[in-house]
Amino acid sequence: MESLKRARKAKGMSLTEVAERSGLHREAIARAERQETDVRASTLSALSKALGVPVCELFDESGHERKRRRQAPKR
C-alpha cells in the first residue's frame, strides 16, 4: 500500500510511532506498506486512526501511478 507509506511520511511518523498509536506490530505495518500481505478492515481502521486520515485515503493512488497506468503502451 504505497498510499499507506505516503500518508505516514506526510505526517512525519516512523513505523514505530504508527505501531504504538495503532496497537499493531511494526513489521506488520512494514509488510502492508510493501504490499506483502493482505490488510484486514480492522487493521485499516486502526492505521487510519493512528495517522489521522480517512480509511479511503489509504486506498488513494498517487497521480504518478495513475498517469503511468493510463499511458498507452509504446510500440
Question: Where do the structural domains in the chain lie, given as residue ranges?
Answer: 2-70
pLDDT tens-digit map of 38-52: 899 999 999 999 999
Average pLDDT, the chain: 84
Between 2-10 and 41-51, two packed helices, what is the crossing angle to 10 degrees? Answer: 20
- Record the pTM: 0.75
Which of the pair, 19 or 38, is modelled with greater confidence?
A: 19
For residues 50-72, average pLDDT: 65
Q: Which residue did the predictor score with more confidence, 22 or 66? A: 22
Backbone angles phi, psi at 12, to 5 degrees: 70, 30
- What cell was used for 74? 509504446
User: Alpha-carbon distance 66 to 43, whole Å?
Assistant: 25
**Topology classification of domain 2-70:** 434 Repressor (Amino-terminal Domain) (1.10.260)
65/46 Cα distance (integer angstroms): 25
Confidence check: pLDDT of 68 > 90: no
